[in-house]
Amino acid sequence: MFPLMAAIACAALLPGEAVRLRVDDVTFSEGGGSEVLVRSGEGRKVPAPSALVGVLRWWIDRANLKPGDLLFPDEHGGPLSPSVYRKAWKQAREGVLTPDELEAGQRGGVTRLRDSCLDLWLKAGVPAWLVAEWAGVKPSWLALRYPHRFRPGQFEIDWDHLAAVMELPKSPNP
């Protein structure tokens, strides 16, 4: 389950997208530039950080997966059932959270991993339009979901430069 959870957490995939990935949907590139191709919807390419690349390479080798195989198959080679990864997520949460934390609003499904990744990308300064493209959502959705990342006080505005670029052409009549 760890490789699946890592893919969701590091590439901001929806669980349903992650379980449909095939080995050929991951492009490994030396020195960065690795990508995950998400085929659902309009399709999109999502960057794969080096930590995820290492996990996926290890997983493909360990599971003896071949091109065309599902990246996260069930024991029969078919798509992993949501009940399987939900159960693993529940067990993982119970293993690290106290009963009080589980009861006190620390709820959330596997998609919490995706949410954390999107939030981290925004916090790191990745432009919202690019995060939206990688996530397969609209920038306005990000602004509604993560309003704390869009507060005006977080940005330095060069007011002199803004005034200069907004300058109107000189009018011949004063």
Give me the DSSP letters along 22-80. BGGGEE--TTS--EEEE-STT-EEEE--HHHHHHHHHHHHHTT--TTSBSSB-TTSSBP
Residue 60 has pLDDT above 80, yes or no: yes
Domains within the chain, CATH numbers bracketed: 2-149 (1.10.443.10)
**Per-residue pLDDT tens for 68-117?**
999 999 999 899 999 998 898 888 888 888 888 877 765 678 898 999 99
44-58 pLDDT, tens digit per residue, is 999 999 999 999 999
**How many other C-beta atoms are found inside a 10 Å radius of the C-beta of residue 93?**
17
Residue 22 pairs with which residues in a beta bridge? 70
